[in-house]
Amino acid sequence: MTTASPFVHSYLFVPANRPERFSKAVASGANAVIIDLEDAVGAGDKTAGRNSLTNWLDSAEARANQVPILVKVNCVNSGCFGEDLRVCRRPDIAGIVLPKAERADDIASASAGAPVYPLVETALGFSRIAELARAPRVQRLLFGAIDFKHDMGIDGDEDELLFFRSQVVLASRIAGLLSPVDGVTTEIDDLDKIARDAAYTKRLGFGGKLCIHPNQVPIINRTFVPSENELRWANRVLEAAESARGGAVALDGRLIDRPMVLTAQRIIEDARRRAG
């Protein structure tokens, strides 16, 4: 199972030491679930978290599950990294989320044969973002905005992080990765805030967002899945391009070029996949 798809938009975190929440997470509608062994699990509960993860993955319920499961391990220098990787060496884990990714060597250590999703959340990691993006087995960059702001002493979520988010998008594109995934919105009940945050990062070129509560999942899915207006536009672009048979053609006063056609094709493909 793999999450290396442009149609994975919502990634829902669930603490590894709360196995009673695993089924709810899988049923939430999230495109992928991240079982968290790091921030969400206290130092004294790491072993219990690993055991809960292993027991659930061995269950009939997990074997029947079709939602990609990723695991967020502890960082390389945490003292827990090796134990975390040992329980992740199995084919039913779709990827490793590596927090505080700062070196390509860290990614190589984390892969264990699985795709890696580096979480860029420190100044040092950001300074090496091109190196991280080009490292083998990297599937997608994740931007940990909350920890990054703390590390940088930044106060603010939009203009204050515009440069950094844009560089994450640029590094992903140059490395040939899928569009990156933005960090969590901490407000669980403020659905308008979640919608604004998701729409903002989509405009910047992000392809998805991390979630910390099932309430956030439907909003994020709606935001990153093509709207009816986008779908109508894409169909019109493809119809006009087809009628031109390779020649120049304009639509609504704008020349239709190859990037526009490719964008329209991606929108149609995404909508068709969602329709089943």
**Using CA atoms, how far apart are residues 17 and 70, in angstroms rounded to an integer?**
15
Report the DSSP pairing between strands 116-120 and 142-143: parallel
Residue 85: CA count within 13 A, CB half-sphere: 19
**Local structure of residue 43 (DSSP, 8 states):** G
Q: Which residues are annotated as a binding site?
A: 121, 147
Show binding-site residues for Mg(2+): 121, 147
CA 17 from chain centre, in angstroms, equals 22
Q: Residue 220 burial (CB < 10 Å; 0-12/13-18/19+)?
A: buried
Round the CA-based radius of gyration of the chain to a whole number and report it: 19
Q: Cα separation of 81 and 83, whole Å?
A: 6
For residue 163, which amino acid is it?
Answer: F
CA 9 to chain centre: 6
Q: Which residues of 78-105 are buried (b: 16+ CB within 10 A; e: fewer)?
A: bebbebbbebbeeeebbbbbbbbbbbbe
